[in-house]
């Protein structure tokens, strides 16, 4: 028996040494030619050695394991990245590498089932960064020390950093790259002209934009309240206003009203050193909090306030003396207007222009107070519209200049070049009388007989019937214009309103000639009387 066993072992060892493959089975089949070991069974399996590993980077309890050696670990051991748990491992020459099993601890390309978010995740368990990349380029980077996330950026310096690259730039007009939120109606794979965009313009990559490519509005809010509203159909912007009615509409609310003297709400511009100092500093544009109807544009500092355009100060409000300057940085009166050559209107004069709503810009219209732009010496007030210029006090017109050049003092509708209601006090009145002005010169005929046809009367004006004439109740001395007109029509003027007036100054020549005529009669009577006296003496 002993001899038979030795013979059997000898034959077996000889077979192993000479064979190219080795088969372990119960059928006696030869091993497959492609394998060195072919194990097969329909009722049993192959049992891998079971060991208790210490850590991934520790070969213990094995001594100098060969590369590709397979074991089944039976314990949980190790720390950090070197942690091992029950399962199949193989030695890669440096550390133990866990083999994928069917316990769902690995993520499948087709998805996993039965996962627990507390135990299953993608990431690292140690203080190491985590990177996801595509086509050899980093797509997402997680910094383990700062918890910052980078999209296309391996060194994010904020909670979320998006770095654009040339692969993300679409060659279409007005496009840009960054974050896009598409609506559900957008077609899969559609261009970037859908939804909400937050990013940089692709052409320059220095222009930042937040754009809604849909037909709706764009809102920004805080605490479940809409704060900033960009309206699509009108391009109006509202702050605290859901329905802005102008390019920029700001609606104040009670929470924004600050109590205190002379305070108001709206827009406040602080200097860097004034943050948190309340609304008593900086530039204010808003409404008074006490009434909410008083609008203000105010510099709460002790400096001046300038309004300008094209880098030029146009209006200067001086704090030290409360002077206001237009086109001057140094107003020298309460209101100073400096005329500049580039401010010349298309009129003979330039300066202060007051236009009506229907006046075209820069046109010869409206009221102008200024000077002649050719020499800046001649100055005045002009109304370039088809109207009048009126000066008044106490809500009444005192002096009126009509569009035909008539001037009224005390009357709103003058009918003569100078129409005065009331007394006139003057040192003298003169009228042109040079011979060189005159022609058809004739003497006044029968002045005395004509004067006899005119009555000199006393009278009172009908003050109640003509209140605008400024008449008094005093007794007057004069003529009746209609009676004078019959004899001396040259002395009577009929106004545009049909009423008549007498030019009393022109009666003087008539009186002079009448006196001369009367003197002739007296002289003639004296001569006749002298002839009668000698006769009587005889």
SS3 per-residue string spanning 383-450: ECCCCCEEEEECCEEEEEECCCCCEEECCCCCCCCEEECCCCCCCCCCCCCCHHHCCCCCCCCCHHHH
Residue 315: what pLDDT? 86
Cis? peptide before 352, omega within 30° of 0:
no
Backbone φ/ψ region at 491: left (φ over 0), alpha (ψ -120 to 50), beta: alpha
Residue 483 forms part of a structural domain: yes
Say whether 516 sits in a helix, a strand or coil: helix
Cα(268)–Cα(296) distance, integer angstroms: 11
Asked if residue 352 lies in contact with residue 369, where contact means CB atoms within 8 angstroms, the answer is yes
Give the residue from 93, 109, 125 where a domain finishes.
Answer: 109
Give the residue from 109, 124, 148 where a domain finishes.
Answer: 109
Residue 459 forms part of a structural domain: yes
Residue 211 forms part of a structural domain: no
Per residue in 480-494, pLDDT (tens digit) is: 999 999 999 999 999
Residue 251: what pLDDT? 80
For strands 176-181 and 396-401, give the pairing. unpaired
Residue 132 forms part of a structural domain: no
Residue 288: what pLDDT? 67
Which residue range is the domain that position 486 belongs to?
A: 446-538
Residue 170: what pLDDT? 46
Asked if residue 381 lies in contact with residue 389, where contact means CB atoms within 8 angstroms, the answer is yes
Residue 173: what pLDDT? 41
Count of domains forming the chain: 2
Q: Output the six-digit token pair for 68.
A: 């590709």
Residues of the chain with pLDDT under 50: 1-18, 167-173, 189, 255-261, 342-346
**What kind and span of H or E run contains 515?**
helix 507-537
Across all residues in the chain, what is the average pLDDT? 78
Residue 321 forms part of a structural domain: no
Residue 511 forms part of a structural domain: yes
Residue 174 forms part of a structural domain: no
Question: φ, ψ for residue 513 (rounded to 5)?
Answer: -65, -35
Residue 491: what pLDDT? 94
Give the residue from 86, 109, 132 where a domain finishes.
Answer: 109
Nearest Cα neighbor of 54 from 71, 67, 40, 31 is 71
pTM above 0.75, yes or no: no
The CA-atom distances, in angstroms, between 129 and each of 97, 124, 133, 239, 309 are 20, 8, 13, 43, 54
Cα(383)–Cα(372) distance, integer angstroms: 15
Residue 71 forms part of a structural domain: yes
């Amino acid at each position: 028996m002993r001899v038979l066993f030795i013979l059997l072992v000898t034959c077996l060892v000889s077979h192993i040494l000479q064979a190219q493959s080795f088969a372990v089975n119960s059928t006696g089949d030869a091993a497959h030619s492609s394998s060195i070991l072919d194990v097969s069974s329909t009722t049993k399996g192959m049992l891998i050695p079971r060991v208790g590993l210490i850590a991934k980077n520790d070969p213990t309890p094995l001594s100098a394991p060969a590369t590709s050696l397979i074991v089944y670990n039976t314990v949980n051991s190790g720390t950090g990245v070197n942690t091992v748990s029950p399962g199949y491992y193989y030695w890669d020459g440096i550390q133990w590498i866990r083999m994928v099993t069917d316990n769902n601890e690995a993520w499948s390309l087709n998805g996993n089932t039965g996962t627990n978010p507390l135990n299953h995740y993608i990431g690292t368990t140690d203080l190491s960064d985590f990177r996801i990349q595509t086509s050899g380029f980093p797509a997402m980077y997680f910094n383990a020390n700062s918890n910052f996330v980078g999209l296309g950026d391996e060194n994010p310096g904020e909670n979320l950093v998006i770095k654009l690259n040339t692969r993300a730039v679409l060659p279409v007009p007005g496009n840009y790259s960054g974050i896009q939120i598409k609506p559900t109606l957008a077609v899969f794979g559609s261009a970037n002209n859908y939804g909400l965009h937050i990013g940089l313009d692709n052409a320059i990559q220095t222009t930042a934009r937040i754009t809604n490519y849909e037909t709706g509005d764009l809102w920004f809010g805080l605490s479940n309240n809409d704060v900033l509203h960009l309206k699509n159909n009108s391009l109006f912007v509202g702050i605290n206003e859901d329905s802005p009615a102008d390019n920029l509409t700001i609606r104040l609310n009670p929470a924004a009203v600050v109590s205190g003297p002379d305070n108001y709400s709206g827009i406040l511009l602080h200097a860097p050193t004034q943050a948190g100092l309340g609304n008593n500093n900086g530039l204010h544009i808003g409404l008074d909090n006490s009434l909410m109807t008083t609008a203000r544009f105010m510099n709460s500092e002790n400096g001046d306030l300038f309004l300008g355009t094209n880098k030029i100060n146009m209006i200067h409000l001086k704090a030290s003396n409360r002077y206001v300057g237009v086109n001057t940085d140094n107003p020298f009166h309460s209101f100073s207007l400096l005329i500049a050559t580039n401010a010349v209107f298309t009129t003979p004069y330039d300066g202060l222009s007051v236009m009506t709503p229907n006046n075209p810009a820069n046109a010869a219209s409206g009221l102008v107070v200024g000077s002649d732009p050719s020499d800046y010496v001649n100055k005045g007030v002009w109304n370039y519209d088809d109207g009048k210029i009126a000066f008044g006090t106490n809500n009444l017109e005192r002096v009126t200049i009509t569009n035909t050049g008539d001037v009224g003092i005390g009357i709103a509708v003058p009918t003569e070049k100078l129409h005065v209601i009331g007394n006139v006090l003057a040192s003298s009145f003169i009228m042109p009388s040079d011979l060189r002005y005159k022609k058809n010169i004739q003497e006044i005929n029968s002045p005395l007989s004509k004067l006899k046809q005119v009555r000199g009367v006393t009278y009172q004006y009908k003050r109640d019937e003509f209140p605008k004439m400024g008449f008094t109740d005093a007794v007057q001395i004069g003529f009746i214009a209609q009676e004078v007109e019959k004899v001396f029509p040259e002395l009577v003027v009929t106004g545009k309103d049909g009423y008549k007036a007498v030019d009393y100054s022109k009666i003087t020549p008539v009186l002079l000639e009448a006196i001369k005529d009367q003197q002739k009669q007296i002289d003639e009577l004296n001569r006749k009387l002298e002839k009668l006296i000698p006769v009587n003496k005889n």
